[in-house]
Structure 1
Amino acid sequence: MKKLSVSLLAMMVAGSAYAADMGAVDEPIKLAINEWTGQHVTTQVAGEMLKAAGYNVEYVTAGMMNQFQAIADGDITATLEIWSSNVSDEYAKKIDEGTVVEIGDLGLDAKEGIAYPAHVADLCPGLPAWEALKDCAQVFATAETLPGGRLVDYPADWGTPGADRMTGLELPFKAVPAGSEGALIAELRASTERKSPLLITFWQPHWAMSAYDVQFVELPAGEEACFNDPAWGPNPNAVNDCDFSPSRIFKASWNGMEEKWPAAYEILSNYQLAVEDQQPMMGAIDVDGGKVEEVVAEWMAANEDKWRPVVDAATQ
């Protein structure tokens, strides 16, 4: 099912509900800022929508994996870009407790996987088929990983999805966590400029997918049985011998938000952001050196028809 646009969704909301109460407008709504540029864009757009509605907004730096206790305690009001393939056990615990609640999908069409710049296919014949990595791991080897190849995985506090695939598929690679999203981009840039080998855990939407012609390795389909039943898949002795699960990107809030800020809760619940809107803003920041606040402000001014109806539906 195709996701509704922000504008269409807003018109539906406007036609079927009355404006919510504003609630505690004198108290700031605190939005989590996590470790990657896309999330900064997502959160800043949401924050500006709340400000346009008349709320005070604060941005709180928080690790993606460990932010949920702060949300459960009400120290952070909401987090707006959670990837289903990279969510912590702590999140599930807080959802079960009812201290954190999901507030809808963000609307981004997403994919995560093991990836490489397109030129690497010439260095490892057989790509994009995952089996090719068995025979050319030495191409990716470094002093740190010999005799295996090197996979540049997500930063350590994002989890270890790349390492899990190397183990599950019995690939002779050592997963080395990147220091940050910026470090992942630096690896892609250096590999592209030098035409050197690189295997990386990566995702879309991201401006680097097109800038560096990044391709995904074709892994066995990421079905639920893969993550629970060792007998499923090419390795009968391990789980995770498959691709990432199809990613759902969603939002969550403190369970007291709806009562304390009803209109804000409605705005964030109905807020969606399309890939074609987020990705250019990411490029304007990471490639062109723009500031998040300025890039988002420019987008907000040029695209009021995409966000204003959501605000109006909740407040008028």
Structure 2
Amino acid sequence: MKRYGTGLAVTVMAGGLAGAVQAAEMGAVDEPIKLAINEWTGQHVTTHVAGEMLEAAGYQVDYVTAGMMNQFQALADGDIHATLEIWSSNVSEEYAKKVAEGTVVEIGDLGLEAREGIAYPAHVADLCPGLPALDALRDCAQVFATAETIPMGRLVDYPADWGTPGADRMTGFDLPFKAVPAGSEGALITELRASTEKKSPLLITFWQPHWAMSAYDVKFVDLPVGNEACFNDPGWGSNPNATHDCDFAPSRIFKAGWAGFAEKWPAAYEILAAYQLAVGDQQPMMGAIDVDGGAVDEVVARWMSDNEDKWRPVVDAATR
């Protein structure tokens, strides 16, 4: 798996976190802690590592499938107790409402250094000279046209229930592209694989950390730095008639929980609040699952077994 990252290195930064964790009561160990499972592999890895840590502390854990955009009502109701990988760029307004009403609480950053943007496999620069400059897309949009988009180019956007960030950029920059939502994360990967194998043109909305960034040599288009003025004021930027004529805002990735979590499972709350993940640690596990066909629980369990000295101090600091 080293071709996809730096190897299965430390995921929990024990030395820095253990000192910040406070020993706490265990709470309701006879009741399972329900962790949300969303639609992408990285989130599965993130959540299972957290679950393994909670189980090592003596808790029961259930994994509950929940859509990223519609999980917050279940979180507010206590039907789900924590969600471990929320991306600020895609979080719904429902999340802010639940936090404001006090039924959902944020439990700290996950620590992933992330990026999202308009991207392409490296070979596409040969088909559209001038990339990664934005104006290159304006000049060669027809290269990306398909039967469903002609005469416009095609952008493969995120699945519909992830929002429309790619479409927003096509409108914002007034580019002659039609954004077509992918059916799933797997569909995005299929597009990348096919483009790489056939050396065909592809423009796609994508993100890191993801094993495919290395596997398919994915590059980002250079866009003006994103900021709040760009997202809210049409007068900002190159297009006076639209917002989002800039790059994605730097993504903050964080964790949240049911408001009653800390009271019901105090030590578990301390563990999840301290839990951190690094891009170089998550991506290889994603590759072991999506490329090599490993099961999420087996890949994560192997890491846990091989690196107990890296995560055990965090668990111990919360429970002793």
Band of TM-score, shorter chain: over 0.9
Deviations 1:196-216 (A, max 9, x none): 000000000111001000000
Q: Counterpart of 2:68?
A: 64
Question: Residue 259 of structure 1: SS of its match in structure 2?
Answer: helix
Q: Counterpart of 2:218?
A: 214
Mapping of 1:162-173 within 5 angstroms? 162-173=166-177
Q: Counterpart of 2:19?
A: 12
Distance 1:314 1:11 in 2: 8
Q: Counterpart of 1:131?
A: 135
1:10–1:313 CA contact under 8 A, matched in 2: no
1:45 to 46, 49, 56: 49
Question: Residue 125 of structure 1: SS of its match in structure 2?
Answer: coil
Q: Counterpart of 1:299?
A: 303
Question: Residue 60 of structure 1: SS of its match in structure 2?
Answer: strand
After superposing on structure 2, the runs of 4+ consecutive aligned residues of structure 1 that deviate more than 4 Å are none
Cα RMSD for the two superposed structures: 1.1
Deviations 1:119-175 (A, max 9, x none): 000111111011111111111011111111100001111111000100111011111
Q: Counterpart of 2:289?
A: 285
TM-score, normalization: structure 1? 0.96
Q: Counterpart of 1:276?
A: 280
Offset of 1:92 from its aligned partner?
1.0
Offset of 1:277 from its aligned partner?
1.2
Offset of 1:5 from its aligned partner?
6.1
Q: Counterpart of 1:263?
A: 267
Offset of 1:274 from its aligned partner?
1.2
Distance 2:310 2:88 in 1: 25
Q: Counterpart of 1:249?
A: 253
2:285–2:299 CA contact under 8 A, matched in 1: yes
**In the alignment, residue 45 of structure 1 is paired with which amino acid?**
V
Question: Residue 104 of structure 1: SS of its match in structure 2?
Answer: strand
| Number of aligned residues | 310
**In the alignment, residue 288 of structure 1 is paired with which amino acid?**
D
1:77 to 78, 81, 87: 81
Mapping of 1:139-178 within 5 angstroms? 139-178=143-182
Percent identity of equivalent pairs: 82
Distance 2:244 2:156 in 1: 18
Question: Residue 85 of structure 1: SS of its match in structure 2?
Answer: coil
**In the alignment, residue 194 of structure 1 is paired with which amino acid?**
K
Deviations 1:2-55 (A, max 9, x none): xx96212333225xx4x1000011111000000000000000000000000000
Q: Counterpart of 1:28?
A: 32
Q: Counterpart of 1:88?
A: 92
Distance 1:207 1:7 in 2: 24
1:9–1:270 CA contact under 8 A, matched in 2: no
**In the alignment, residue 289 of structure 2 is paired with which amino acid?**
I
TM-score, normalization: structure 2? 0.95
Distance 2:268 2:65 in 1: 20
Distance 1:224 1:8 in 2: 36
Deviations 1:90-123 (A, max 9, x none): 1111111111111000011100000000000011
**In the alignment, residue 95 of structure 2 is paired with which amino acid?**
Y
Distance 1:12 1:231 in 2: 48
Question: Residue 243 of structure 2: SS of its match in structure 1?
Answer: coil
Runs (5+) with no aligned partner, structure 1: none
